[in-house]
Structure 1
Amino acid sequence: MSESNLLLPTLSCHERAAWIVDETTRGAPIPNAQSIPRTRLSRDRYLFVENTRYVRQLAVIALILLSFFELPSYCSPHRQCVAVDGTSASLSLSGVPYISPLPQFLFNIFLLAILIFFFIYDTLYLPGTALHIHPKRLSLLFSALVLDAVYVIAFAGYPPFRLAPFLRALLPLFYFHSLRECTTAILAVLNPFFDVVTIVALFTFIFGWIVTLVFHDVPEADRYFGNLVTGLYSAFTSLTTADWPMQIMAVLDVSRPSALLFLAFILIGVLMLFNVLLAVVYNAYTGHMEDLVVRKLQDRRYSLGLAYDVLTEQDGVVTLPDVRLLFDELRKNKKHSHMDDQQTQLLFTALDRDGDETISRDEFLGIVDALQLRFVLELENVSPVERFFPSFYHTEGWQNVAKYVRSKSFSYVIDMVMIVNVLVVLLESTMDLREKDTPKSVLIFAAIECGFSFVYILEMVAKTASQGFDRYWRDYGNRFDFAVTWLLLAGAIYALYPYTENDRTIVRYLVLLRCLRLFTLFAKMPRFRKLVQVFTVLVPASAPLFSFFFLSLYVFTAAGVEMFGGLIYRNNPALNPDNNQLVDAFVGNDYWTLNFNDMAAGWYTLFSSVIVAYLTEIAEAIAATSRFGSWTKWFFILNFVVNSLIVSNCVLAFVVDLFVMQDEDDEDELILSDLQGRYGSKRVKILHRYSTAEEVYRTMFRDRVNEVLSKDD
């Protein structure tokens, strides 16, 4: 039976318009108004699925993390996991405790049941506006995950191969919209990237072939250039600067002029070709993001145009009561639950650019951007002194005190106190590092810190008394000062108790806590404040990129555990430098904890390799112990190409773009100033929140965006 034949309450135009706005802010613009169901029951079902999205996302994250606690496939009841000293142990080298097979199975099934329940609910009850993308692919993925769980149980929790980690890596692409867009952007980099990589590979091959041809019969160079395969690999590691300059040292005593050949190789390869790679990745990634931003903006404007048409079906105009009814429905979505009546009034004023008390179609198209604004209504200066002691508040003496507390002179005095406090902290930490501190010195420093804490408390009391607690607490810097001050006082009082040797660790933590006051001082410096603003934007906006980086390493780690798990331990004869000189660096540097004996250790190993570009020690150790021999080095080369050259450069491109955007943010400041001017005497402060990479790039490509908007108009 169709939904239209059911005797159910229908949605008003405001509720249907709110549904379209919800979908648009979710990143799924509506292609036509007819695709939105018209019954209240469908809307309630939609809100249930949408408001529980975090449950599904947490379940996906939990499934990913579960892989780090599962027994590796090389483990069995007869062969427990290998510890770093070659003995059997129930804990991995990373120190992460493994989950036994039965709890692992139950936890896995429980998380899958949550995801499958919402998937079936969404598919059955919201077929026209399903919140899951590519339902057929997702159903196949769920089927594979369930079969894998049964497969693990069939082997009593010790399967010979684990497929689940690879399947789980696909789940975030279905449940995190921003991660899916990030993946698409990185894939767009591949074609131009491989064009340049081909040139780099050819250049490396020619150099490795020439050097091997010249030095293959030199005994000192046999380790690096004894044959063509070894020579090509040494040329590659030279290009990554791993082990440099060991490769050149092997031939330098034989031929001093050969240094010029290596110098030319490094200059051309590292300083030119690798920077060309960076430029190609930067241009391709930024270009794709520009096209994506423009395309999504066009889709958004079309979808919001549909919402406006639905909203004006009856009266043909949108007024403040219409906006209030719209937000009454939007507030049912947790994303917009913070929009109270006062915020709705402020947002209406922000949308009403011409001040005619109605919202035109063009003005309504900016509602998604307006929802990104945070309105802060400045409070009146009502201090507790004025409230409880009005006669004293109006005296000339108190007014002078309050004026001084709000002046820069008072701030300078507190800054000087903090500088002295920092010097005391440096003196105390120096005595601790040199082990010259005594119980008496600890008590003295604790007493001094109590004095500083009381000064900071007096500062808080003075600010609260002069401007009121509400205004004081609204400033996040004041909240930070408040928390640190009371923690410092509590720590100092604790240290004043009878001193014991067990208190040494507490005192060290107290010293670190005191250093937090430095941030208050730095926050007053314009340069530092600008840097903090960049990081407040960088952290949420770059989350998809860093999530992709984590998942990329996760997939490589899962493959590494399957192929190389249990190979690295101290008593392994293949890792004896007397038998294989290629592993002497691994053994000599005590790299035993860098291995693939479990997921956590393997992920850290690959992360360390990416940070330093390439770790030849790990590659040689795995090659010496693996049944695949030297072919295993291709695993590490592929990890270098994907994570060091592609993903890391995409992260670098975004960070560079973000700093450029912050430097060119003057136009946004003018726009916000214009908005604040519409509120007259209400003293409304408007803050723009850049919470996604798309919003960052919209600001960067403002000229292109404005060009698109003008064409659409």
Structure 2
Amino acid sequence: MSELTPILPRTARSYQSNAFATSTNNNDDTSSSPSSSSEKLDPLHLASLHFYYAFHGIPSPPNTRETTNGQWEAHLKFSKSENPERFICIFVLILVTFLETPLWCATGDGTSESAAATTTFSFLTTDHCDSPTESQIYLSMQSYLPYMYTIPVETLSNLYLLYLSYLEMLTLPQSSRRRPPPLPFLRLWLPLLSLLDTLALLVFLPPFRLSPYFRLILLALTPSILTNLKYCLLIMPPFMNILTIFASFYAFSAYLLMTFLHMDDDSENFEQLYAPGCEYRNRGGSVEDECDKNDKGFETLAQSLYTMSVTSTNADIPGGFLPTYAYQRLYGVYWILYLFFCNFLFQHLVLAVVYNCYVVCLKEDKINFFSYRAQGLKNCYSELLEHDKGSTEGDEIGVSLDAVFDFMQIINDFEIFNPIRAEHIKYMFHALDEDHSGVIDLIEFYKFCEVVRNSYTVYKKDSWTISRVGGRLKAALLRMRGSVEDGSLKRIFNYILMLNCCCLFMESYQDLRKGELIILEQDTWGWIEFSFSMVYMFELSIKLATVPWTKFLAFRSNLFDAVVTLLLFAASVVWAVPSVHVSSDLYRHFSILRLLRLIELVKDTDRFGFISDCVISMAEGSVPVVGSVFFATAVFCVLGTQMYGGLIYADNEDLEESEMFKNDMDVLNFNDFSMGFMTFVSFLVSGGPVTEVIDAFGVVGRFGQPCSVIFFYAYFYVVCYVLFNVFVAFIIDAFLVNYESQFIEEDSFSRRLMGGGGDDMIQVEEGHEVIQHKASSSDVLYKKMFSEELEAMLEEATVIPSNWLD
């Protein structure tokens, strides 16, 4: 739910719908478009350009004053075309990766009898794939899209991305003295290379495609994910140092243990090759078939390294050390020492190194981000002073209301944030002009720029119903509105929801007992659910009658309740009609959805409210980290699909005796892009690689066991040890910051600079209110993390240069 706070003071003047038109600034150039494309920008448009750079957290180019009107128009056109169209195109391309037919399925690979003579490519592929022997093969059960559909969609998306890259190239400075940034050129080449790869697919059959990688790189180039990936690159050097020590330790341990186990191979006294207990239990059968040798997993040096590396990740425990320990108990001391150093000391040392490097990189980047923002806003304010020169009276240094109107008209054209209506600008100006000087100074301008990032909704206090009735009915509705606003109505219906929850639980318990326990007849339960649906409809009617619709729809939880309540009511009415037979289970599902409102009770409690707020803020702030994990996993999934697609199926003779088939793990495969994700999820959550999967792909793969081990261990070390540990580090740091901030009261200076509201901003004109929707909580979280550094930096940024006083 969006955080809503009133923003306007009692003393604010009533707004006028033609506020922009009544501007009386002495500068006649108040239009949103400059005149000539070859002329340099005037101060007003330069201010908007500084504002654009500031809120993207990047420094303004040193030759910003050399920017022409044509480049400004290119900036404007690019900003309008990029957001959200670029993200939509990237999302479509990622969706194509999930839905397109796997390349191994669209071509005959020559392994089956039907395809032995030829290799063909089909643009009209059916929605399923067969194994080479036409036996059972695990797929994601999704209907694949033929290439005749995916190629046009992919082509159109890449063409639009090329158009955006062209617009972005036009915004770059033309001066040869400044090296252009590489990111726009990379955004230009990736769609172009993807189109060439698609053309190669149409002309001849390539062994694999590069387009899926290009799509994922485009996803990685989004600002938030790219920044997080930069952190990971900076983490890699210290991580490789500790990983080298880590690998050297378990490699030496593997060599040492293999030497111990084979030390007495030629001795006459060395007769016991199996664990004594196992040999005794299987004395009636074949010991060789049933019992593990004491050197299982340590037959060769390569096998010893593999066994020790798997054990060091907490996978295959205790299976890795059971044969040696069962044979000789003294090896238990060796394994205890090994597990202590590898699985406790080094594992947590890796997390500590990643956490420390991540926090350092995050702090440096965010400090730079907000420093660039503060400096950009300072440059923006300087240009506004130049634009507003001569229109202010007295010795006050500040920007007038007319200049702010002109400035916001251009910012609205940039579409950086939701458009701000002219009347809101007037309210905000007077609310932020705390000294009532008629101009806003630099500190007030910082606060103003933070506030305009949010969106606003104006609504009347009285609902449509209250404004059109009178007498006792209006008084009753006003009392009901009071119950809605103070939460008493919500508390009453929360008790009803809990009663409904108990009824649903008893009804479900009765269904599970299969008629052994009859609490109430099924029709009786149906009428009880019908009664609850009527009660919920009554609650919704009260809210709609007393709360303005604009305010009601401003809360996403209200919208969810309204939709679910209406669906539940409609299902109940249909069920109650005698001529229509509808199972009571149908609207029981809607009742369960309605009960999700009980989750709000968790937020209202002192015990769990803080935790729920932490979860929400951390979930929003961790989106870039999760996006980085998705990107890396998707790259490995594409590679796995191209290497191992279609090789895991029921009749594969090479896997008949494998642990994968014995343990029913053949569903973990790379037969399509979607299934590869679940294969890697098992690696993420299990704390180590799944040996059954690695061994199976080593058998069926073209390059054998070494390639399989390298492939899966590369994923494990890069994604699990680095990216996933970055996610853990972020969660730890964010929770600690939220925990500490609940005991710290933000001072007035920080509230001014960070855009926080105050008690003086509570009301608008009579009969109206304005609610403010916070743009994002991620900035707030980072400001809490580095509040001391940001406060010092902003103190420095608010110092007015001496040349402004002239």
TM-score (norm 1): 0.87
Q: Which of the numbers 219, 224, 230 marks the counterpart of 1:172? A: 219
Structure 1 window deviating more from structure 2 (140-149 vs 302-311): it is 140-149
AA partner of residue 793 (structure 2): V
CA drift of 1:215 comes to: 3.4
Which residue of structure 2 aligns with residue 25 of structure 1? 55
AA partner of residue 717 (structure 2): V
Could you tell me whether the CA contact under 8 Å between 1:425 and 1:514 is conserved in 2? Answer: no
Name the SS for the 1:516 alignment partner. helix
Which residue of structure 2 aligns with residue 601 of structure 1? 675
Does the C-alpha gap of structure 1 residues 541 and 145 become closer, same or farther in structure 2, counting only changes over 3 Å?
same
Structure 2 residue 124 is the aligned partner of structure 1 residue 50:
no
Structure 1 window deviating more from structure 2 (118-127 vs 83-92): it is 83-92
- 1:156-167 correspondence to structure 2 within 5 Å: 158-167=205-214
Which residue of structure 2 aligns with residue 34 of structure 1? 64
- 1:160-309 correspondence to structure 2 within 5 Å: 160-174=207-221, 176-215=222-261, 218-219=273-274, 220=292, 221-309=294-382
Structure 2 residue 786 is the aligned partner of structure 1 residue 701:
yes
CA drift of 1:7 comes to: 7.4
Could you tell me whether the CA contact under 8 Å between 1:425 and 1:515 is conserved in 2? Answer: no
Which residue of structure 2 aligns with residue 94 of structure 1? 140
Which residue of structure 2 aligns with residue 551 of structure 1? 631
Could you tell me whether the CA contact under 8 Å between 1:537 and 1:690 is conserved in 2? Answer: no
AA partner of residue 706 (structure 1): E
Structure 2 residue 439 is the aligned partner of structure 1 residue 358:
yes
Which residue of structure 1 aligns with residue 90 of structure 2? 60
Does the C-alpha gap of structure 1 residues 669 and 518 become closer, same or farther in structure 2, counting only changes over 3 Å?
farther
Could you tell me whether the CA contact under 8 Å between 1:25 and 1:368 is conserved in 2? Answer: no
Which residue of structure 2 aligns with residue 146 of structure 1? 195
Structure with the larger helix share = 1
Task: Give the Cα separation in 2 of the matches to 1:249 and 1:322.
Answer: 78
Does the C-alpha gap of structure 1 residues 510 and 498 become closer, same or farther in structure 2, counting only changes over 3 Å?
farther
Task: Give the Cα separation in 1 of the matches to 2:737 and 2:775.
Answer: 14
Which residue of structure 2 aligns with residue 425 of structure 1? 504
Which residue of structure 1 aligns with residue 533 of structure 2? 453
Does the C-alpha gap of structure 1 residues 198 and 8 become closer, same or farther in structure 2, counting only changes over 3 Å?
closer
Could you tell me whether the CA contact under 8 Å between 2:138 and 2:667 is conserved in 1? Answer: no
Which residue of structure 2 aligns with residue 444 of structure 1? 524
Could you tell me whether the CA contact under 8 Å between 1:278 and 1:649 is conserved in 2? Answer: yes
Task: Give the Cα separation in 1 of the matches to 2:173 and 2:677.
Answer: 40
Task: Give the Cα separation in 2 of the matches to 1:193 and 1:658.
Answer: 22
Aligned CA RMSD, in angstroms, stands at 3.7
- 1:571-582 correspondence to structure 2 within 5 Å: 571-577=651-657
Structure 1 window deviating more from structure 2 (550-559 vs 57-66): it is 57-66
- 1:520-535 correspondence to structure 2 within 5 Å: 520-535=600-615
AA partner of residue 678 (structure 1): D
Does the C-alpha gap of structure 1 residues 704 and 240 become closer, same or farther in structure 2, counting only changes over 3 Å?
same
Q: Which of the numbers 591, 604, 623 marks the counterpart of 2:698? A: 623
Q: Which runs of 5+ in 1 are unaligned?
A: 578-582
Render the CA deviation track for 1:410-468: whole Å, top value 9, x for unaligned: 55433322221111011112223333399984432221112122223333444555666
CA drift of 1:623 comes to: 1.0
CA drift of 1:232 comes to: 1.9
AA partner of residue 270 (structure 1): N
- 1:592-671 correspondence to structure 2 within 5 Å: 592-613=666-687, 614-631=689-706, 632-663=708-739, 664=741, 666-668=744-746, 671=751
Task: Give the Cα separation in 2 of the matches to 1:160 and 1:400.
Answer: 73
Task: Give the Cα separation in 2 of the matches to 1:124 and 1:501.
Answer: 64
Task: Give the Cα separation in 2 of the matches to 1:669 and 1:615.
Answer: 52
CA drift of 1:246 comes to: 1.3
- 1:490-529 correspondence to structure 2 within 5 Å: 490-496=570-576, 503=583, 506=586, 509-510=589-590, 512-529=592-609
Task: Give the Cα separation in 2 of the matches to 1:464 and 1:94.
Answer: 44
Render the CA deviation track for 1:510-533: whole Å, top value 9, x for unaligned: 453243242243343244443443
CA drift of 1:492 comes to: 3.0
Does the C-alpha gap of structure 1 residues 456 and 7 become closer, same or farther in structure 2, counting only changes over 3 Å?
closer
Does the C-alpha gap of structure 1 residues 463 and 127 become closer, same or farther in structure 2, counting only changes over 3 Å?
same
Instruction: Count residues in correspondence.
Output: 698
Does the C-alpha gap of structure 1 residues 131 and 368 become closer, same or farther in structure 2, counting only changes over 3 Å?
farther
Structure 1 window deviating more from structure 2 (48-57 vs 683-692): it is 683-692
- 1:340-419 correspondence to structure 2 within 5 Å: 340-349=421-430, 351-373=432-454, 380=461, 384-385=465-466, 387-394=468-475, 410-419=489-498
CA drift of 1:471 comes to: 5.0
Name the SS for the 2:296 alignment partner. helix
Task: Give the Cα separation in 2 of the matches to 1:566 and 1:434.
Answer: 44
Task: Give the Cα separation in 2 of the matches to 1:183 and 1:320.
Answer: 43
Which residue of structure 1 aligns with residue 283 of structure 2? none
Task: Give the Cα separation in 2 of the matches to 1:295 and 1:523.
Answer: 34
Does the C-alpha gap of structure 1 residues 323 and 131 become closer, same or farther in structure 2, counting only changes over 3 Å?
farther
Q: Which of the numbers 675, 682, 686 marks the counterpart of 2:757? A: 675
Could you tell me whether the CA contact under 8 Å between 2:669 and 2:679 is conserved in 1? Answer: yes
Render the CA deviation track for 1:670-694: whole Å, top value 9, x for unaligned: 63897323336547766654344x5
CA drift of 1:498 comes to: 6.3
Which residue of structure 1 aligns with residue 622 of structure 2? 542
Which residue of structure 1 aligns with residue 24 of structure 2? none
Does the C-alpha gap of structure 1 residues 398 and 377 become closer, same or farther in structure 2, counting only changes over 3 Å?
closer
Could you tell me whether the CA contact under 8 Å between 1:690 and 1:696 is conserved in 2? Answer: no
Q: Which of the numbers 110, 115, 124 marks the counterpart of 2:156? A: 110
Task: Give the Cα separation in 2 of the matches to 1:402 and 1:118.
Answer: 50
Task: Give the Cα separation in 1 of the matches to 2:470 and 2:330.
Answer: 88
CA drift of 1:284 comes to: 0.7
Name the SS for the 1:677 alignment partner. coil
Structure 1 window deviating more from structure 2 (76-85 vs 289-298): it is 76-85
Which residue of structure 2 aligns with residue 580 of structure 1? none
CA drift of 1:662 comes to: 2.4
Task: Give the Cα separation in 2 of the matches to 1:242 and 1:497.
Answer: 59
Render the CA deviation track for 1:495-551: whole Å, top value 9, x for unaligned: 445699984763563453243242243343244443443344334332222111111
- 1:682-697 correspondence to structure 2 within 5 Å: 682=764, 688-692=774-778, 695-697=780-782
Does the C-alpha gap of structure 1 residues 12 and 331 become closer, same or farther in structure 2, counting only changes over 3 Å?
same
Q: Percent identity?
A: 23
Task: Give the Cα separation in 2 of the matches to 1:261 and 1:499.
Answer: 77
AA partner of residue 75 (structure 2): Y
AA partner of residue 371 (structure 1): V
CA drift of 1:344 comes to: 1.9
Structure 1 window deviating more from structure 2 (57-66 vs 237-246): it is 57-66
Could you tell me whether the CA contact under 8 Å between 1:381 and 1:471 is conserved in 2? Answer: no
Render the CA deviation track for 1:579-605: whole Å, top value 9, x for unaligned: xxxx22x11221222111222222331
Name the SS for the 1:288 alignment partner. helix
Could you tell me whether the CA contact under 8 Å between 2:602 and 2:612 is conserved in 1? Answer: no
Structure 1 window deviating more from structure 2 (68-77 vs 466-475): it is 466-475
Q: Which runs of 5+ in 2 are unaligned?
A: 1-32, 116-124, 266-272, 275-291, 390-397, 800-806
Task: Give the Cα separation in 2 of the matches to 1:5 and 1:459.
Answer: 57
Which residue of structure 2 aligns with residue 338 of structure 1? 419
TM-score (norm 2): 0.78
